[in-house]
Amino acid sequence: MENGDGKRLRERLTIPHLPRSAAYDPRWMIEDVMGPNPLWPLEELIGRMGLRPGMRVLDLGCGKAMTSVFLARECGVQVWAADLWIDPTDDLRRIAEAGCADRVVPLRVQARELPFAHGYFDAVVSVDAYHYFGTDDFYPGCLADFIRPGGMLGVTVPGVRAEIERVPGHLRPWWQWEFMSLHTLAWWRRHWELTGKVRVLEAWEPEEGWRLWRTWCEVCAEAAADETVREASRREAETLEADAGRTFTFVHLVAETTAPAGP
């Protein structure tokens, strides 16, 4: 039985237009937190990606494999749960506990050196990870080669409303150099489309993006078991509050790989 705290957490984390994420245990989500709640944007992405049972999906930068479990359960796909920092043995334990060991393969992978055959995947999904490696001009063209023609690429990353030319005054106390990896929707669209290897089908910023992000941080600042996570979440919530949607946003993109040009 869920206690009062559990109910309160569930209520705070229930987003009416994201019912599939709302069915997951808030404690399970908070325990493995590595950033903004990954299930919310993933639910938005899969609604537009047309994933079908049995498809081969690479979850790139899967972290603690929460998104891989979600993909396997909600879409019935086979998932390669690829990450650099997280030990795949730890991911396997979490995947098995979630009952998905037969459908999710955890791997230690450097996104810049993918160990797969070209055209192997029906889709690549990446949630809150792509900006760590994908801003390189050579990256999108190389990644597209691992997806079959007509396959899908779905990415969600924290982003900015306008390209950052200098540190905005109101963000000076909160600035982190890693924010340089954040870009606008238009920047990402251009970065992908100029390869000629993918066609962006949909690109959008969820309207309530920064508010949901702040809510998630506030909840983690209260409820995470680990003090380091609570402190990092508190600081992130304060940064978002100070910014109030002026700079930070979320960026979602869904693209289709194009067929290679004939001879």
Ligand X SMILES: C[S@@+](CC[C@H](N)C(=O)[O-])C[C@H]1O[C@@H](n2cnc3c(N)ncnc32)[C@H](O)[C@@H]1O
Choose which of 133, 139, 187, 204 interacts with ligand X (CB under 6 A): 133
Smaller CB separation from ligand X, 22 or 258: 22
- Count residues contacting ligand X (CB under 6 A)? 21
- Does 129 engage in binding with ligand X (CB under 6 A)? yes
- Does 35 engage in binding with ligand X (CB under 6 A)? yes
- Does 38 engage in binding with ligand X (CB under 6 A)? yes
- Does 168 engage in binding with ligand X (CB under 6 A)? no
Choose which of 15, 34, 105, 107 interacts with ligand X (CB under 6 A): 34
Spacing of C-alpha 157 from chain mean position = 6
Smaller CB separation from ligand X, 181 or 258: 181
Smaller CB separation from ligand X, 151 or 158: 158
What mask of x and - would describe binding to ligand X in positions 54 to 83, judged by CB under 6 A?
-------xxx--xx---------------x
SS (H, E, C) the chain: CCCHHHHHHHHHCCCCCCHHHHCCCHHHHHHCCCCCCCHHHHHHHHHHHCCCCCCEEEEECCCCCHHHHHHHHHHCCEEEEEECCCCHHHHHHHHHHCCCCCCEEEEECCHHHCCCCCCCEEEEEEECCHHHCCCCCCHHHHHHCCEEEEEEEEEEEEEECCCCCCCCHHHHHHCCHHHHHCCCHHHHHHHHHCCCCEEEEEEECCCCHHHHHHHHHHHHHHHCCCHHHHHHHHHHHHHHHHHCCCCEEEEEEEEEECCCCCC
- Does 147 engage in binding with ligand X (CB under 6 A)? no
- Does 233 engage in binding with ligand X (CB under 6 A)? no
Choose which of 96, 110, 186, 190 interacts with ligand X (CB under 6 A): 110
- Does 111 engage in binding with ligand X (CB under 6 A)? yes
- Compute the distance between CA of residue 87 and CA of residue 106 in angstroms, rounded to an integer: 9
- Does 104 engage in binding with ligand X (CB under 6 A)? no
CA distances to 55, 78, 172, 253 from 120, rounded to whole Å, are 10, 12, 44, 21
Supply the minimum distance, in Å, between the C-beta of residue 61 and ligand X: 3
Residue 59 pairs with which residues in a beta bridge?
Answer: 81, 125
Supply the minimum distance, in Å, between the C-beta of residue 165 and ligand X: 25
- Does 204 engage in binding with ligand X (CB under 6 A)? no
- Does 41 engage in binding with ligand X (CB under 6 A)? no
Supply the minimum distance, in Å, between the C-beta of residue 135 and ligand X: 11
What the block records as the tokens of 9 is 């957490």
Smaller CB separation from ligand X, 112 or 211: 112
Choose which of 7, 17, 52, 112 interacts with ligand X (CB under 6 A): 112
| Site residues, ligand X (CB under 6 A) | 34-35, 38, 61-63, 66-67, 83-86, 109-112, 127-129, 132-133
